[in-house]
Amino acid sequence: MSGKRIVAGIVSLIMFAAVIGCSTSEKSGNASTAGNQNTGQGQSAATDSKKNEQVYIYANAGNLALASTLSKKEDLEMVHKEILDRSGFEVEANIPPKGQEAEKLNLLLASNEPIDIFVGSIGAFRDNGAIQPLNDLLDKYGSHIRELWPKEWASAWDAVTDKEGKIWAIPQVPQLAEKTIFLRSDWLAKLNLTMPKTIEEYETVLKALKEKDPAGAGQTIPIVTNMTGLNLALSAGFMDVGYGPWMDQDGKVKPPEVNPGYKDFIAKMAEWYQKGYIYKETFTLNTERTRELIKQNRVGSAIIHYSVVTNIQSDLQQKTPEALYEVAGELKGPKGNITTMSGLSPYGWMLNKKSKNPEAAIKFIDWIHSDIENYLLIMYGIKDKHWKYTDEANHVFERLNQDYAGEYLTASTFAYTVQFAPSDPASKPEYDFLGKYSGDTSRVKNPATADVDYLYDQQEISDKLPHIEDINRMIEEEVVKFIMGARPMSDYDKFVQELYSAGLDKWIEVMTEQYNKVKAAMK
């Protein structure tokens, strides 16, 4: 597996599990056939002196959906035995068929077949009585689970906790800053410039890229981006809050497009577009075309999802070895930090309400969280058999084979993702970004309603705002017109009035009602 494929397997599965939902109870795919021996070289559990506790996991972490094949039988047996010897838990895994994960999970939860642990979004499972609160179990058996999450990411627990303080899941991801501004630092050096720290300095860089044309033959593109990238990686620098709904002085929640600072931001982007700093075709590019432009050694700055750049940098360096993209990590706008943190994620690892031994399930997850090598075991297999360290102190590893596919992966967590990395040089940009920037709360702003909007009643919003997508579409289309010059900035106030005519008053009413309702419940 290439370095980029490894990265996808590590990072994407944490996000992917929430989408695919779940598993199957078909015996033909049950990893519990991986052996029942109780002997071996254990590190912690004396498996021959006590009865091993049974734990049933639903293997919907997302890694198997990305895998081309499942484990070899003998390797699955070895990993099963190693987990047993080291933890004292007899783990059985139900393997979901690709494409039917959610349906199979629902069938499994409705049946009497054993299942303890699975991953997903807490909302529907909680509302349908399919899961159980974890507070007491975490207090008694989850010390390592709590310790693994840094205090800066405490909001991840908020997202899986209800208004009454009941914790319904163990979180997978904190709020992340995934959109950023990359610059070709080798071109900066060539142009005798430094990494910009202000918008004015950034404009100086863009002007130099345009005029000096380091790519040659007029091929240099100062900026490639899209609206999501601009909004989440830059617009906060022009507002007092991160990009997203905000609380106006009249006490009403309003969309960011009516924030006075956002108007200033769009005016600046329109100026850059007119000067040729923003690529003329940028709003029609798809991800593959953007990566192709980067690979062609044409892009000076990318304001986009980090992976679009990090996953292609090694390909670029094959032809241009000196090429190096770095994050403009200290860049600030007129109103400070430029990057917006993502919203809270209500996804996590849950316990089935029907679990016959929830204590064992939590203790097994706590064992995973107690040592990174326990996590690497269930994810990649046995050390020096399926993988080995190339830098043990920094947990840099190399896959030796694909004989174990990760059927026993449970409790996948971003808190571990930032603690290890594949040794392949192609993976380094991705892990550098994830470890240094993605979870750094000191360089970002939160949307004003980020602390409450994950608790909004989405069904109620949908019922009261049946045309909300029409408003969203109108906003994006018109904002792009302003940037591209198809509509003059002198029309911006008129555009805001058009939004009100299209139903923005109702949007504000509903969102303000949701905000106030959640805030009142939190008191």
Q: List per-block mean pLDDT (blocks of 10 residues) for the chain, which spans 523 residues.
A: 43 46 35 35 40 91 87 97 96 90 91 93 92 98 94 91 92 92 98 98 98 98 98 97 96 97 98 98 96 97 96 94 96 97 90 96 97 96 97 94 95 91 88 88 92 89 93 95 98 96 96 94 79
With respect to residue 236, please indicate whether it lies within any of the assigned structural domains. Answer: no
Whole-number pLDDT of residue 35: 33
362 and 472 in a single domain? The answer is no
Q: How many residues does the chain have?
A: 523
Residue type, 149: W
Domain of residue 112: give its range.
3-174+346-382
Structure tokens at 163: 């208004």
36 and 115 in a single domain? The answer is yes
pLDDT tens-digit profile of 96-129? 888 888 889 999 999 988 999 999 999 889 989 9
475 and 356 in a single domain? The answer is no
Whole-number pLDDT of residue 352: 97
pTM of the predicted structure, to 2 decimals: 0.83
Residue type, 116: D
Helices (H), 111-253: 122-127, 135-141, 143-148, 155-158, 185-190, 199-212, 227-233
Distance CA 7, CA 14 (A): 11
7 and 148 in a single domain? The answer is yes
Phi, psi of 187 (to 5 degrees): -70, -35
Burial class (CB in 10 A: 0-12, 13-18, 19+), 42: middle
Whole-number pLDDT of residue 17: 45
With respect to residue 441, please indicate whether it lies within any of the assigned structural domains. Answer: no
356 and 459 in a single domain? The answer is no
Whole-number pLDDT of residue 387: 97
Q: What is the CATH number of the domain that holds 104?
A: 3.40.190.10
With respect to residue 61, please indicate whether it lies within any of the assigned structural domains. Answer: yes
Q: Domain total for the chain? A: 2
63 and 164 in a single domain? The answer is yes
With respect to residue 185, please indicate whether it lies within any of the assigned structural domains. Answer: no
350 and 496 in a single domain? The answer is no
Whole-number pLDDT of residue 63: 87
With respect to residue 496, please indicate whether it lies within any of the assigned structural domains. Answer: yes
Whole-number pLDDT of residue 50: 53
Distance CA 14, CA 408 (A): 15
Is-contact 273 485, C-beta < 8 A?
A: yes
58 and 142 in a single domain? The answer is yes
With respect to residue 513, please indicate whether it lies within any of the assigned structural domains. Answer: yes
Whole-number pLDDT of residue 247: 95
482 and 374 in a single domain? The answer is no
With respect to residue 278, please indicate whether it lies within any of the assigned structural domains. Answer: no
Distance CA 23, CA 17 (A): 11
Is-contact 75 381, C-beta < 8 A?
A: yes
Is-contact 407 64, C-beta < 8 A?
A: yes
366 and 466 in a single domain? The answer is no
509 and 361 in a single domain? The answer is no
With respect to residue 133, please indicate whether it lies within any of the assigned structural domains. Answer: yes
Residue 442 CB coordination number (10 Å): 6
Distance CA 334, CA 332 (A): 7
What residues does 474 pair with on adjacent strands? none
377 and 460 in a single domain? The answer is no
